[in-house]
Amino acid sequence: MREYFSRISEKPFRATQVMKWVYHQGITDFEKMTDISKPLREQLGQQTVFQLPEIVSQQTSVDGTRKWLLQIDEKNCIETVFIPEKDRGTLCISSQVGCPLDCSFCSTGKQGFSKNLSVAEIIGQLWLANRELGSFQDNRRVVTNVVMMGMGEPLLNFNNVVTAMNLMKDDLGFNLAQKRVTLSTAGVVPGIDKLAETTKVSLAVSLHAANNDTRDILVPINRKYPIKELIAACKRYAAQRDNDPITFEYVMLDGINDSSADARELSRILKDVPAKVNLIPFNPFPGSGYLCSPKRTIDAFRDILVKNGLITITRKTRGDDIDAACGQLVGKVAAKAKRLQ
């Protein structure tokens, strides 16, 4: 934005002014940017445009989780989910329309890949959530954490995702602490290394299996970047980040990856990694072919990890009544198109 203002022979501090209006006040109408002269406001109105994804619908779960369906273009929709908790509010943001990785238990993967989201479409999700949750109006931070855990593989849309995350952290943007912005990856190893060199955010890795035979099936990108390489990249990442723990996500699939042998193997491979484990009860969707592990199996699995010194949390399922839970985000494009016909 500074470059833009210098191109039109204006002082760079104009960028600061506009940023504050947009990201701190939630104002995108140039006419309301009162510390900018009228002629310049007019020029801005003619030369630039604020483009936000359009909200097609929104749903609220009985547990307070909110989900927005956003129109990206004529054919494509994405979903963004807000998860309120006692001490924080987490926004789960999409990075792609669909996903090319095709993990066998993920509904997003089943719809295939359409396209990468632009920086505006990524940061726009956070801006819209802030507006819809009344943050700008009340000057109150409702979204305290952002997780790139919606639709898509963020490391396959690297530049746009990093630029958007930098805006989330920038004090002229949403001013979020770096630890409160988390990128989650299915294990794109070169992307993990590049991320460590490029910006500072928390990392989550969708591990889901402790051996290659099982992971090859659940997370097919494992065939390209097997567990050993992935764990080595995680260690490098943690080393660059003062050994801040990496979150390992592990979806609990009945009879597939939930035995006590699996738990012991997982403990072994994470032995030397600064790690937290997040066990995710599998959220079913039609035709998935998997079942969620019973609660007692998840508890027994957790107990083995804890006994082996791993900080382990079982993720609460939130928003499943509105299909907003992990792995259930599909943008509902097909169903919606059918209804419109």
Which residues are annotated as catalytic? 79, 326
Here the tokens at position 296 are 């007692």
Instruction: Rule CB under 6 A: say whether 221 interacts with ligand SAH.
Output: no
Residue closer to ligand SAH, measured from CB, 124 or 281: 281
The two beta strands, 113-116 and 181-185, are: unpaired
Burial of 269: CB neighbours in 10 Å, binned 0-12, 13-18, 19+: middle
- Residue in 135, 131, 202, 144 with CA at minimum distance from that of residue 175: 144
**b/e map of 159-192 (b: 16 or more CB within 10 Å)?**
ebbbebbbbbbeebbbebebebbbbbbbbbbebb
Instruction: Rule CB under 6 A: say whether 125 interacts with ligand SAH.
Output: no
Stretch of residues binding ligand SAH (CB under 6 A), selected from 25-33, 61-69, 276-284, 298-306: 276-284
Nearest approach, Cβ of residue 317 and ligand SAH (Å): 8
Instruction: Rule CB under 6 A: say whether 206 interacts with ligand SAH.
Output: yes
Q: For the segment 137-156, give every residue that binds ligand SAH (CB under 6 A).
A: 149, 153
Residue closer to ligand SAH, measured from CB, 10 or 63: 63
When CB distances to ligand SAH are compared, the closest residue is: 327
Stretch of residues binding ligand SAH (CB under 6 A), selected from 47-55, 180-188, 255-263, 301-309: 180-188
Q: How far apart are CA 53 and CA 265, in angstroms?
A: 44
φ/ψ of residue 88, rounded to 5:
-165, 170
- On whether the CB atoms of residues 155 and 185 are closer than 8 A, the answer is yes
Nearest approach, Cβ of residue 319 and ligand SAH (Å): 12
Contact residues for ligand SAH, defined by CB under 6 A: 103, 105-107, 149, 153, 184-186, 206, 249, 251, 280, 282-283, 326-327
